[in-house]
Amino acid sequence: MKPTTIWRKSYSSSCRQLINGHGAIETLPLKSSNVPFPRGKLYASQMFDKMPQLNVVSATAVIGRHARKNQHEEVLCLFSAMFVLNLRPNEFTFGTVIHSATAVRDIDIGKEIHACAKKIGLHSNVFVGSALLDLYAKLSVIEEVQRAFDDIKIPNVVSYTSLISGYLKMERIQDALQVFDEMPERNIVSWNAMIGGLSQKGHNEDAVHLFIDMLREGFLPTQSTFPSAICAAANIASLGIGRSFHACAVKFLGKLDVFVNNSLISFYAKCGSMEDSLVIFNKLVERNIVSWNAVLCGYAQNGRGKEAIGFYERMSSAGVKPNGVTLLSLLWACNHAGLVDEGYSYFNQARLDNPNMLKPEHYACLVDLLSRSGQFRRAEEFIRDLPFDPGIGFWKALLGGCQIHSNVELGELAAQRILALDPGDVSSYVMMSNAHSAAGKWQSVSTLRREMKEKGMKRVPGCSWIEIRSKVNVFVTGDRNHHQKDEIYSAMRFFVEHLKESEDFNLLSDS
């Protein structure tokens, strides 16, 4: 057999020369802007030269074998070689090769393969079309996602699910819900995609309700379903709903995998039930770094800094190597508990042992730690010595500390920096107004509020909620809409009066 040569030309010329006037297949050169194929030309030649009986089925089998081994560069070169040998790819060839283009995240190669499928007339095939949908969805080209879907003659459940995933990734929630409602049939993967997407994009109540709807329609959840549903319950701090999801997981799955257990650890921690979180962690036979970080983050969220440090030492003794999330959780725990020296020590230790671990969020957390404790000089020096330009988060951390300690002068500097980076930031106006109020500078408060009004800025009211008997009660600042508002305010007055009579309240007032 004559040795194969891989030709590479431009995308436009490959489309023009793909099929000549007599219907014979010509060269499809693939040109990658991101992925060099140094071994591809020679390798493709050797692979096909060794095959005694070369046809589209055997070539596709070779391509599939390389794809399963994640050898995606070789897959793309072998695909290009098929055209040199006048082998017409079928729908299975395209499905495999499009997956490889997705894996190397090269949109240009993906578009070339799409053009090739269109020339041959296979773009409307449901197998090829679904692969193209997945490509464009994962590489965030939503216009092409819709176009690829419209090209499919008879879309199936995979096609619809890929379209939904694309919409969810681009945060087009209503479009995703509409497609989901219009699906002629659904499977558990469709439900998982919808529940997971809503949870990831912050639509937690919708994700919880959708999970319940799924159970009502008789679909059995899998190990992949529960992490998203439990995470959604955690984000709305619904302990009752989350417990029922936990029971549901035990009922349907029996043995829970590490991903479900990790989501449960995080869920109980976020709901303030660290004891339940630790019970699950301690029973885990298979643990990974996410398991340890979930507990550490839980201690941080609940202001239990000393226990977080103790747990970190336990983690180190177990030989588990920390990552960036570990350090961030540890710094956060020290921050919430006011453990300044400990937090500074852990940061410096990471800076010496593993400087590549440090990201801007770690530096920002340390600025917040110093600012909250009133150590403004150290915070300023730390910001000045940063190895990069401080972003808005750093100045907000500093401004937050200034608000707590009524440092109006430094707070104004921080607010100016914030507004220079984001002129429409409402929170910096509110924080500065609070700092002026604490300092008794009412004229400055009035000026800031007037400026906010002139710019059309509206303060987003604070919100909190509590779950009682599996019902979530939501409150905003100054809320008087709750049906038990009279009893609530009566109880608050009782507690305030009781607090005023205590010795601790008098000490706080004197200070």
Residue 296: C-alpha distances to residues 73, 147, 243, 405, 487 (Å): 40, 45, 21, 28, 38
So what's the pLDDT on residue 199?
Answer: 94
So what's the pLDDT on residue 505?
Answer: 52
Phi/psi for 276 (5° steps) reads -65, -40
CATH number of 39-166: 1.25.40.10
Indicate the pairing of strand 471-476 with strand 463-468.
antiparallel
Paired residues of 19 in beta bridges = 25
Could you tell me the two tokens for 484?
């038990």
Annotated domain spans of the chain:
39-166, 186-273, 387-460, 461-491
Q: In tens digits, what is the pLDDT along the chain, a chain of 511 residues?
A: 333 333 333 333 333 343 343 334 444 445 444 433 444 444 555 666 677 778 888 888 888 988 898 888 888 888 888 887 888 899 999 989 999 998 998 888 989 999 898 888 888 888 898 889 889 888 878 788 888 888 888 898 988 998 998 889 888 999 999 999 999 999 999 999 999 999 999 999 999 999 999 999 999 999 999 999 999 999 988 898 999 999 999 999 989 999 999 999 999 999 999 999 999 999 998 899 999 999 999 999 999 999 999 999 999 999 999 999 999 999 999 998 889 999 999 999 999 999 999 999 999 999 999 998 999 889 888 888 888 888 888 888 888 888 888 788 888 888 888 878 887 778 777 777 777 776 677 887 788 788 777 777 777 677 777 777 767 777 777 777 788 888 888 888 888 888 777 655 554 454 4
Could you tell me the two tokens for 232?
């959604």
Q: Nearest to residue 6, comparing CAs of 25, 29, 23? A: 29
Q: Which residue shows structure tokens 């529940």?
A: 195
* CA atoms of 467 and 478, how far apart (whole Å): 19
End-to-end CA distance of the chain: 92
So what's the pLDDT on residue 35?
Answer: 38
Residue 191: C-alpha distances to residues 151, 156, 198, 257 (Å): 24, 15, 11, 20
So what's the pLDDT on residue 23?
Answer: 38
Paired residues of 467 in beta bridges = 472
Residue 443: C-alpha distances to residues 410, 434, 440 (Å): 18, 12, 9
